[in-house]
Amino acid sequence: MLLEGQERIPSGCAVTGVIDRSGKGMTGEDMIRSIAVMHDRSNGLGGGFAGYGIYPDYSDFYAFHLFFDDGAAKTATEEFLGRHFEIAYASEIQTRKIPEITDEPLIWRYFVSPLSRKLESSHLDEREYTARCVNKINTYIKGAYVFSSGKNMGIFKAVGFPEDVGRFYKLEEYSGYSWTCHGRYPTNTPGWWGGAHPFGFLEYSVVHNGEISSYDANRRYIEMFGYKCNLQTDTEVIAYIFDYLLRRKKLTLTEAAHVVAPSFWSTIARKSKEDQEQETLLRKMFSSLLITGPFSIIVGYPGGLMALGDRLKLRSTVVAEKGDKAYIASEESAIRVIEPDLDKVWAPAGGEPVIFELYGGRK
Amino acid sequence: MKYVIIGNSTAATYAIEGIRSRDAKGKITVISDERHAAYGRPLISYYLYGRTDLAHIAYRSPEFYEKNGVEVLLGERAEKIDAENKKVLLASGKKVPYDRLLVATGSRPFVPPVEGLDSVKEFFNFMTLDDALALEKALSPEKDVLIVGAGLIGLKCMEGIADRVKSVTVIDLADRILPSILDEGGAAFVQRKLEERGIRFILGDSAAKFEENAAYTKSGKKIPFDLLVIAVGVRPNTELVKEAGGEVARGIVTDDGQRTSLKDVYAAGDNCESFDIASGTRRILALLPNAALQGECAGVNMAGGDAHFTNAVPMNAIGFFGSHIATAGVYEGECYEEAAHDHYKKLFFRDNVLKGYILIDCIERAGIYTSLVRNRTPLSDVDVGLLEKSPALMAFSEAARRDKLARRQ
Amino acid sequence: MKRIYVKEKWCLGCHLCEYECAYANSGIADMVKALKGKNICPRIKVEDGDGVHFAVNCRHCTDPICVKSCIAGALSREGDGMVSLDRDKCVGCYTCVMVCPYGAIMPAEDGKAAQKCMLCTDNQMNGEPNCVKHCPNGAIVFEDRG
Amino acid sequence: MNGTLFIYPDYEVVRDYDKCIACRVCERQCANEVHSYDPDLKKMFADNTKCVNCHRCVCLCPTHALKIVKSDNTYKINANWDNQTINEVYRQAGTGGVLLSSMGNPKPYPVYWDKMLVNASQVTNPSIDPLREPMETAVYLGKKNAGIERDENGRLKDTLPPQLKLSVPVMFSAMSYGSISYNAHESLARAAEELGIYYNTGEGGLHKDFYKYGKNTIVQVASGRFGVFKDYLETAAAIEIKMGQGAKPGIGGHLPGSKITDAVSTTRMIPKGVDAISPAPHHDIYSIEDLRQLVYSLKEATDYKKPVIVKIAAVHNCAAIASGIARSGADIIAVDGFRGGTGAAPTRIRDNVGIPIELALASIDTRLREEGIRDNVSIVAAGSIRSSTDLLKAIALGADACYIGTAALLSLGCHLCRSCHQGKCNWGIATQRPELVKRLNPEIGYRRLVRLVTAWKHELQEMMGGMGINSVEALRGNRLMLRGIGLTDRELSVLGIRHAGE
């Protein structure tokens, strides 16, 4: 059978996320409870979490999480990392042995910072430099895969049901101000750990429920800009699109949402002249980044979460607020299970971005 | 408003429609000495010929009078117009008051005072439906018929009865048939056709004396017959107006709104004159379309409208045994002529207009010629060469054609 | 009222309208059976000139001279404005032929009555004029121009 | 032998005498004078030698008594020397001239459109019903590679070069007034206006009457520069530099003097009755840098307000050429495949030069993406887009929009008799003879074009909906939606698609 990257694998899923806008830390346990309610939306072939604010002590370093198939891959990777980065700290990620999670690869964490000499001679900014290094490892080092590469955030994923994955990674030991979680229902993967979600790229992480029909149009376009869609998954391409629009084109989140899930032309025609101009311009400039087909995503980034669904609302998304906390999930029950008494619950319209950020704004 | 109409044929019918186009309420009374609702008067020959029957001969639908709120006094003869008191006196003694009066009394057959005519037992006029019904009763395949008069009425009568009697002979003082509408060539063409059908003509001669079953001509011929029809002409019924003091020439004199010289008295139809634009003279144009147009004009004006009838033109469509004649206008001026075995055609041009035409067995689209005569269309505006060959809208300018076909004219 | 109008600019002079008219008024369902071997007698006629063609049929005049000239009362203007011919009343005198300024009334094939365009209301076409339907170039239209 | 040999006609008129009513419509409608009526026999006859198989008579015969069949007259069967090949030798031996043909390449080369299959959603991803949901077909053509700039309020500034907005990704190909009739042009112009798309003047100038359709007009600047002047450029929505044409790559054009009527001569700004010859190359463009100069000359002339299209024929190295054009300042590249139509071309060139649009389009799109310059230009594919599926497949291969020429002409009545060069088009399209031109009533013609494109739009929407795509932007370059059938690995690789079942 073909792995992710060798073949395009559609999948259905469940997503959930939470943020405490006051910046207070939460363990990953609520996420586990939340995703467990949606057990039937996963099939045991992938689950994962992203936590933000979990590495306050190393917040200036890129936190690389890697899977290695074997020692050789690890050696090659560490050699590569050594040539490009200062490695502040490296360790195996602590896991809990449980019968539900098997066949684990080597799972390592590195806190790194680009070597200043190398960075200078590359004429790239630090993030671009780091991004390209991540791409190189993933593309060229056989058996090595960077699945998390942002600062002060981390992704934890595995083959299995997400609630088991959460226990496996001992998420009760981490504390973050925001979390997202994903349970996967792929249709034909043997289950490769790297193929589980969230998908992260630098600080951006994406969890996604859906199957986009615009995939190849989006992929062939985004690959013009140095991205390589090795996994051939929706989540990967969506993550790259947000990285491209937010980091490289410096669009706002809302603008990026208007690119990815734009209003219909007929809707735009009814908007104010100003909005018409802005949204038309975005559609004209980035028409190849329009995503069609069902999706419901949570984009995690330093300081916030954004929920966005496709413009026809072919996948459900529910958002809710309770005090400082805000919730996003595929189903309301997944929110109610962790906070039965909500201030406000609503279902955003298709294509309407819902953004929750720390009171201080994004980081 | 009380409208009274004396007469009940074409002019009367159109007068009713003319009145009703402006006045839906005023009372209309029609006085007729005939006992039938209005019928197509020229149809009496077609009735005998078998082209129509009593069920179809009516000029309008049976509900016409009721629908238009018309009181019809049939079999009542108007004796006198009391113009001063605005009343019509009937033979029955009734008096019918009017606010507006139309005299549409038409014409009557002229019967010449010929010696021995009263000895003829089977003697008929051919003017009314009653005439035709009476004649029909007398028809029989054994009978020889003599028709005096080779004009329109005489020859239509001839066509109507030819197949129902043993023989028909037509005699006329004129040297040709249909002298009022055909020139010599045309008359000869038609005569030849009719003679091929077995009709006998005695022309340039007249009946000088009658016995019960024979006529003696001026030239001394004896013509035996079983049945005699006199159709030498008609006289307009002008007496009512004349006796009331109205101006009468050959026919009743009216203005172009059909007003007589009597206040609130109008006249229309075969009893009055019109201005013939083709000849430029005032004359009686005893033609059905003319009666219709005059009647309608009179009706509109009686109801307070302002209609004018100004483009009267003599024209006739007549046919015998499948042969068809159409004529219009006057036969003066430069002539374009086609005389072939199967058709006869003459067009008369003068003063840059088409003055008249004679078409025999080539009547298709003749109306295009008629409109040129009626409208006095300048010939410089049309392609005369094309028109001579056949009537066609192609002969008009593109703009005129466009207007015509788009109904903008 | 909807009437038939012709557009000279687009008339190709193909004469299809004449055949379609003759067919429509034949009372025969099959065109070949209706027209084969016959000299047609259509109610619409195409005039051909030098590079100019147009079809002519009854204009359904607002003030129709034919109606006023009819000796039999067979022609009438109906409520909707259509000039209608009652063939049962017509005796074939052709006064209407003599007065129609468009040359749009003609003797019927049997010579016993006149005929004119009745906008296909009196035949198997149920009021959908067949000449209009089959004109290949939109040169004959059925429109309400008031 | 005096030099000309009788060649038995390829096609024969077959008349069903049981059905023929001798109405003579066929006779009146045949400009080739094939049909005649014998008044003595009261019978219609046909002279097959004059028939070009345009089907005018077949279509107009009211009793459907006519058909045209392929003649079964044959020389001795010879797989190498087929009838047509032999006849062409006879013709050339008789005339000593170059064989001329019209419309697109009729030879049995592979049609890749017919070897690609389209995907649809099942289970994991819902199809979308275009009758219930918006299904967007609008596209903007032009450069997309502008930088992000913001005003003092932080709002995005519109820095995009001029764009063409299409309500549906279809445009009418360049067909000059002269090669086609006034009425054909009017039909195209009015249809483009009603549809919210564009038609293309071709190299024939723009008739004064059609300036009012300027906002839906692409004006062409070709090697003969016919009809090019200030107003012409300013009236248009976009300007197309024609470097080549799919039907006849490498050669110019030739409109015979007989088609240069008063109006054509005025519009083209050339003498009446004299042959109009477009040179093979532009004599001011012998290299890519020369093209860049012309692109910018035209932009200068029109104040940078109009997109400039560069149209090339699909030839072997078109991907490299396109890469050069994408860096030349051009906003749009139009690529015309070898099955594209023409009003006249040397037969040998039409039938043997150039490559299929499918391959050219795929390689150009791939090449521009590899070089990261796909956003520099939009790509318009042309050269026998026959249906909505061809259109859809072209977009999935990477086209932003398609030009349709032959399909547009078919909807105007063309029956592909391929005799345009004879100037006697019985359908009033490829002719300047007034009595024939009038056979195409633009009132009918434009509506048929509108209906055709509308029908394609509906089909495109239906198929997009089936794929779960509700905006045509998400179909562009979406090659996963295509699978090859019966193609070799090499062909699949050029097309950049997988085989069906993979």
pLDDT tens string C91-110 = 999 999 999 999 999 999 99
Cα three-residue angle D465-D469-D470, rounded to 5 degrees: 80
Q: Chain D residue with minimal CA distance to C32? A: D19
Over residues D313-339, the mean pLDDT reads: 97
Hey, are the CB atoms on A287 and D156 less than 8 Å from each other? no
Based on the domain organization, do C87 and C104 belong to the same domain?
Answer: yes
Whether residue A219 is contained in a domain is answered as no
Distance of CA B37 to the CA centre of its chain: 18
Of D442 and A314, the structure prediction assigns the larger pLDDT to: D442
Report in angstroms the alpha-carbon separations of D431 from D161, D176, D179.
Answer: 39, 12, 7
Whether residue A243 is contained in a domain is answered as no
Do B and A count as touching (3 or more CB pairs closer than 8 A)?
A: no
| D63 vs C32: CA distance, rounded Å | 6
Contacts 24+ apart (CB under 8 A), D80-86: D84/D10
Whether residue A327 is contained in a domain is answered as yes
Helices A234-242 and A215-222: angle between axes, nearest 10 degrees: 50
Q: What is the structure's pLDDT at A5? A: 62
| D450 vs D188: CA distance, rounded Å | 9
Q: Is B264 a residue whose pLDDT tops 90?
A: yes
Hey, are the CB atoms on D155 and A278 less than 8 Å from each other? yes
Q: Which two tokens stand for residue A168?
A: 């496996």
Hey, are the CB atoms on A187 and D155 less than 8 Å from each other? no
> In chain A, how many domains are there?
1
What is B2-108+235-302's CATH number, 1.10.760.10, 3.50.50.60, 3.20.20.140, 3.20.20.70? Answer: 3.50.50.60
Residue in D19, D60, D65 nearest the CB of C16: D60
Q: Which two tokens stand for residue B323?
A: 């042969």
pLDDT band, very low/low/confident/very high, at A12 (cuts 50, 70, 90): low
Q: Does D128 touch chain A (CB under 8 A)?
A: yes
pLDDT band, very low/low/confident/very high, at A210 (cuts 50, 70, 90): confident
Mind listing the pLDDT tens digit for each residue in B127-178? Answer: 999 999 999 999 999 999 999 999 999 999 999 999 999 999 999 999 999 9
| A270 vs A250: CA distance, rounded Å | 27
Q: Does D254 touch chain A (CB under 8 A)?
A: no
Over residues A203-218, the mean pLDDT reads: 92
Q: Which CATH superfamily groups domain B322-405?
A: FAD/NAD-linked reductase, C-terminal dimerisation domain (3.30.390.30)
Of D404 and D124, the structure prediction assigns the larger pLDDT to: D404
| D55 vs B210: CA distance, rounded Å | 77
Q: How far is C137 from chain D (nearest CA, A)?
A: 6
Hey, are the CB atoms on D59 and C136 less than 8 Å from each other? yes
Is A181 among the residues known to form the active site?
Answer: no
CATH topology of domain B117-232: FAD/NAD(P)-binding domain (3.50.50)
Mean of pLDDT over chain C: 95
| D233 vs D307: CA distance, rounded Å | 11
Mind listing the pLDDT tens digit for each residue in D421-435? Answer: 999 999 999 999 999
Whether residue D152 is contained in a domain is answered as no
Mean of pLDDT over chain B: 95
Q: What is the structure's pLDDT at A11? A: 62
Hey, are the CB atoms on D471 and A10 less than 8 Å from each other? no
Over residues D20-47, the mean pLDDT reads: 96
Residue in A8, A12, A290 nearest the CB of D474: A290
Based on the domain organization, do C34 and C15 belong to the same domain?
Answer: yes
Chains A, D: CB contacts under 8 A, how many? 109
What's phi and psi for C18, nearest 5 deg?
Answer: -65, -40
Do B and C count as touching (3 or more CB pairs closer than 8 A)?
A: yes
Residues of chain B with pLDDT > 70, as a percent, come to: 100
Based on the domain organization, do D457 and D310 belong to the same domain?
Answer: yes
Residue in B41, B51, B367 nearest the CB of C101: B367
Q: How far is D274 from chain A (nearest CA, A)?
A: 46
Mind listing the pLDDT tens digit for each residue in D209-234? Answer: 999 999 999 999 999 999 999 999 99
CATH number, domain containing residue A64: 3.60.20.10
Where b means 16+ CB within 10 Å and e means fewer, B275-284 reads bbbbbeebeb
Q: Does A227 touch chain D (CB under 8 A)?
A: no
Hey, are the CB atoms on C139 and D441 less than 8 Å from each other? yes
Based on the domain organization, do C93 and C68 belong to the same domain?
Answer: yes
Q: Within a 13 Å sphere around the CA of B35, how many CA atoms are in the beta-carbon half?
A: 3
Task: DSSP for D158-219, please give it.
Answer: --PPP-EEESSSEEEPB--BTTB-HHHHHHHHHHHHHHT--EE--TT---GGGGGGGGGEEE
Based on the domain organization, do C17 and C51 belong to the same domain?
Answer: yes
Q: Which two tokens stand for residue D94?
A: 């008789």
Mind listing the pLDDT tens digit for each residue in A150-184? Answer: 999 999 999 999 999 999 999 999 999 999 999 98
Where b means 16+ CB within 10 Å and e means fewer, A37-66 reads bbeebbbbbbbbbbbbbbbeebeebbbbbb
Mind listing the pLDDT tens digit for each residue in A283-303? Answer: 999 999 999 999 999 999 999
Chains C, D: CB contacts under 8 A, how many? 58
Q: Which chains touch B (3 or more CB pairs under 8 A)?
A: C
pLDDT band, very low/low/confident/very high, at D186 (cuts 50, 70, 90): very high
DSSP A302: T
Residue in B318, B366, B405 nearest the CB of C5: B405
pLDDT band, very low/low/confident/very high, at B406 (cuts 50, 70, 90): confident
Over residues D59-65, the mean pLDDT reads: 97
| D181 vs D431: CA distance, rounded Å | 6
Q: How far is A199 from chain D (nearest CA, A)?
A: 20
Mind listing the pLDDT tens digit for each residue in B286-306? Answer: 999 999 999 999 999 999 999
**Residue D43 is inside which H or E element, if any?**
strand D43-46
| D436 vs D429: CA distance, rounded Å | 8
Residue numbers of the domain that contains D291? 139-146+161-499
Q: Does D163 touch chain A (CB under 8 A)?
A: yes
pLDDT band, very low/low/confident/very high, at D193 (cuts 50, 70, 90): very high
CATH number, domain containing residue D392: 3.20.20.70
Q: What is the structure's pLDDT at A4? A: 63
Residues of chain A with pLDDT > 70, as a percent, come to: 95
Q: What is the structure's pLDDT at A13? A: 83
Q: How far is D378 from chain A (nearest CA, A)?
A: 12
Over residues D353-371, the mean pLDDT reads: 97
Residue in A210, A225, A278 nearest the CB of D156: A278
Residue numbers of the domain that contains C136? 1-57+124-140
Q: Does A263 touch chain D (CB under 8 A)?
A: no
pLDDT band, very low/low/confident/very high, at A40 (cuts 50, 70, 90): confident
Hey, are the CB atoms on C93 and B392 less than 8 Å from each other? no
Q: How far is C10 from chain B (nearest CA, A)?
A: 13
Q: Which two tokens stand for residue A90?
A: 């490296």
Mind listing the pLDDT tens digit for each residue in D260-291? Answer: 999 999 999 999 999 889 999 999 999 999 99
Mean of pLDDT over chain D: 95
pLDDT band, very low/low/confident/very high, at D2 (cuts 50, 70, 90): low
Mind listing the pLDDT tens digit for each residue in C54-83? Answer: 999 999 999 999 999 999 999 999 988 999
Hey, are the CB atoms on D60 and C137 less than 8 Å from each other? no
Hey, are the CB atoms on A217 and D163 less than 8 Å from each other? no
CATH number, domain containing residue C108: 3.30.70.20
Q: What is the structure's pLDDT at A7? A: 66
Based on the domain organization, do D50 and D165 belong to the same domain?
Answer: no
Q: Chain B residue with minimal CA distance to C98? A: B367
Q: Does A11 touch chain D (CB under 8 A)?
A: yes
Q: Does A314 touch chain D (CB under 8 A)?
A: yes
Task: Label residue D318 left, alpha or beta by phi (over 0 means left) and psi (-120 to 50 means alpha).
Answer: alpha
> In chain D, how many domains are there?
2
> In chain C, how many domains are there?
2
**Residue B353 is inside which H or E element, if any?**
strand B353-360
Q: Is D141 a residue whose pLDDT tops 80?
A: yes
Hey, are the CB atoms on D438 and C9 less than 8 Å from each other? yes
Whether residue C135 is contained in a domain is answered as yes
Do D and B count as touching (3 or more CB pairs closer than 8 A)?
A: no
Q: Note the ipTM here.
A: 0.87
Hey, are the CB atoms on C12 and D29 less than 8 Å from each other? yes
Q: Is D254 a residue whose pLDDT tops 80?
A: yes
Q: Is A272 a residue whose pLDDT tops 80?
A: yes
| A124 vs A105: CA distance, rounded Å | 33
> Which among D56, D441, D443 is the top mutation candidate for probing chain C, defined by the most C β-carbons within 10 Å of its own β-carbon?
D441
Q: What is the structure's pLDDT at B240? A: 96
Q: What is the structure's pLDDT at D3? A: 63
Q: What is the structure's pLDDT at A187? A: 64
Q: Is A188 a residue whose pLDDT tops 60?
A: no
Mean of pLDDT over chain A: 92
Q: Where are the domains of chain B?
A: 2-108+235-302, 117-232, 322-405
Whether residue D116 is contained in a domain is answered as no
Hey, are the CB atoms on B364 and C112 less than 8 Å from each other? no
Q: What is the structure's pLDDT at A2? A: 59
Residues of C in contact with D445 (CB under 8 A): none
Q: What is the structure's pLDDT at A9? A: 62
What's phi and psi for D436, nearest 5 deg?
Answer: -90, -40
